[in-house]
Structure 1
Amino acid sequence: MTPAFPGFTRPMQPGEEDAVRDLLDAAFGGNDESRLVDALRTSGDMAGEMVLPMGERVIGYYALSPFRAPKGWLCLAPVAVAPDLQGNGHGRRMIGQLAEWARLTGQYVVVLGQEEFYEKAGFRKDRAARLTSPYPLEHTLLAGPGEDAPAQALRYPKPFDGL
């Protein structure tokens, strides 16, 4: 019997790659994000992959990869929740835990995405105001220590080139 609620976010385990690929393809309606994840894994640019299980099913996922610059900062992408379970707070809980981890550990994490969702999960758009990026700053948010708006130039991992 499948539980009615997901478990806790945990590191992806070997053998879950196909489940993650299927989740990403379903959530985004194509394979661009699953190809990005494959490229991050192949290039060695994957810092971590987390899943949200519900019984035997993977219903949530996010990947962290190290920026080329600034050193030590992490890029959050992609993030997905199974389409049939979106809107139930699973993604906000999953990403909220990540934002709190970033604050407590002193780790800067940057995401490019829907401001309303990520701000509810603990990321802040105003803290990203002084970043420079090859991607639109109006969709860039930051989580991590402090309250400042660091002035940094973001250089994404190579697999992001050309996206």
Structure 2
Amino acid sequence: MAAKKDPYGGQTRVALLASSGGTDPRSPEEVEMFLRFVLPEDREAIAALLSAAFPTSEEALLVGRLRDAGDMVVELVAVIDGTIQGYVGFARHYAPKGWVSLSPLAVARKYRRRGVGGELVRYGLDFVRRQKAEAITVLGDGRYYRRFGFTHKAAENLTSPFPEEHTLLYPIAPGSAGTRAELVYADAFMRF
């Protein structure tokens, strides 16, 4: 995978994405994918992507509320052929201080299981680490998020308003794994 500057000032990643299931599923398809920060003009496209990716429009509303409240730490998109095909957001926790939550991750159906989501998560984790976050939580499928370093074990002493079987932690700061604390999500999560 090559990296170079993109027209938006972020990184361009030329990714060899897995096949979309064409005539030879073993042959990858080279696709230029830009991973960049969200721009103000991306809001409608992101809302449409989130509404299509999830059973309801709740995730799109959540992202809008987090953004409007100033609780988003970073938002990234994957742009393929000039169109937003993937999104990931990282929102701050009110407590513990310095912790953030990966929420949500969405990829257009056409590009699922082709590495787009993984690239967004890795790029986002790297950015959040450089911003000196102490830990990152995610509410999701452990089978998917374990590959990035999230674990249930690291989150076992956390109390959360959400089901513990879906709460995973990516510890960054020494001692953050196994921390005994109450997770206080941004207010927008409580209206979810």
TM interval, shorter chain, is 0.7 to 0.9
CA–CA distance in structure 2, aligned partners of residues 144 and 100 of structure 1: 13
**Cα offsets for 1:83-139 (capped at 9, x unmatched):** 121111221222133334555665211100011111123222211111110101111
1:21 aligns with 2:53: no
Are the equivalent residues in 1 in contact too, given 2:157–2:179 (CA < 8 A)?
yes
Where structure 1 has 5 or more consecutive residues not aligned to the other structure, the ranges are: none
Q: Of residues 157, 160, 163 in structure 1, which corresponds to 2:186?
A: 157
TM-score, L = length of structure 1: 0.88
The structure whose Rg is larger is 2
2:166 corresponding residue in structure 1: 139
Q: Report SS of the residue matched to 1:71.
A: coil
Distance 1:42 1:101, change over 3 A: closer
Displacement of 1:72 in angstroms is: 1.3
Code of the residue aligned with 1:32 in structure 2: it is E
Q: Deviations over 1:43-87 (max 9, x none)?
A: 222222111111211111111111111111111111101112111
- 2:63 corresponds to 1:63: no
1:74 aligns with 2:100: yes
Distance 1:44 1:105 in 2: 16
Higher helix share: 1
Question: Equivalent pairs: percent with the same residue?
Answer: 34
TM-score of the two chains, using structure 2 as the length reference: 0.76
State the SS of the aligned residue for 2:158: coil
Q: CA RMSD in A?
A: 2.0
> Counterpart amino acid of 1:121?
F
Is the contact made by 2:73 and 2:90 (CA closer than 8 Å) also made in structure 1? yes
Secondary structure of the residue aligned to 1:123 is coil
Distance 1:126 1:159 in 2: 26
Give the count of matched residue pairs. Answer: 161
Q: Which amino acid aligns with 1:161?
A: M
1:91-102 aligned at under 5 Å gives the runs 91-102=117-128
Of residues 116, 120, 127, the one that matches 2:143 is 116
- The 2-side partners of 1:123 and 1:93 are apart by 15
Higher relative contact order, chain-length normalized (CA < 8 Å, sep 6+): 1
